[in-house]
Chain A
């Protein structure tokens, strides 16, 4: 049973084009996903099963608040404060949401796939940056 084809096992110049294409895609996505990133006056959008269940204006919170979210058999505790949000603990198996840590900029999000819960920060006032170049 001969090989169908044998690959070139040493890097070739054209490989750099593939790497560049991947980088360009990453940069384009980063600009569109994070471009709106502003801090201050944030809103936390909480979704369960793809439906927005709660929208919290973080700047109007008098102090940090802990919300309990239950979905699909899992329980998450989300701490909301004026400077962002974080999942303190979760009963889900992989704990990716907890390890994501604290998020503080618009466009950032915490996702818990087992519970199908996401917390996304959006909106907010301008930050001190006038323009982003490059």
Chain B
């Protein structure tokens, strides 16, 4: 894939943004509101949604791979790579499909992505553990993903509205 300097720079900034968002959301006391293990807002998904629409699936894929690899490196945990890759790739595949539909808004796309992300992560947990015990959490996680997906969809929507007032994504 040939990238212009502007595209490459934007990809790098978005990768850094996704890493920062997934770090920052660790500090949100979400587990106080939803006392379930493994529940996260998935703020980094805002970046995937944005990249998918604004830059296309190729660059969104590059950003996702860079984010997962660097995130696992920073955490010093190779196990985390499997989790974030399976979660992230499932979310992106589902969102790429859903975003083709003209009848869905960014909310539907984002909720589908959040649900797929949970399915991917539970699949990674099943693979890591070698048994199906993590499947027990999936229904709860899917329920929560309706809210987290809508929230990240809203945030990404704000981003697109704000961008209309800038020259960043103009020809």
Contact = CB atoms under 8 A, between A and B. Distances in A.
Interface stretch (B13-21, B63-71, B84-92, B125-133): B125-133
B23 interface: no
B130 A8 contact: no
A116 to B, nearest CB: 6
Interface residues of A, number: 44
Contacts of A99: 31, 35, 37
B104 A50 contact: no
Interface in B110-168: 111-112, 115, 125, 128-131, 133-136, 138-140, 142-143, 145-146, 156-157, 160-161, 163
B161 A2 contact: no
Interface residues of B, number: 51
A100 B111 contact: no
A120 B129 CA distance: 12
Contact of A22 (B38, B131, B146, B171): B146
Contacts of B135: 29, 33
B106 A8 contact: yes
A112 B99 CA distance: 36
A24 to B, nearest CB: 10
Nearest to A109: B133
A2 B157 contact: no
B2 to A, nearest CB: 13
B108 A22 contact: no
A62 B20 CA distance: 51
Residue of B99, B129, B145 with most partner-chain A CB within 10 A = B129
A116 B38 CA distance: 15
9 contacts: A1-B4, A1-B6, A3-B53, A15-B104, A15-B105, A18-B98, A29-B142, A47-B130, A109-B134
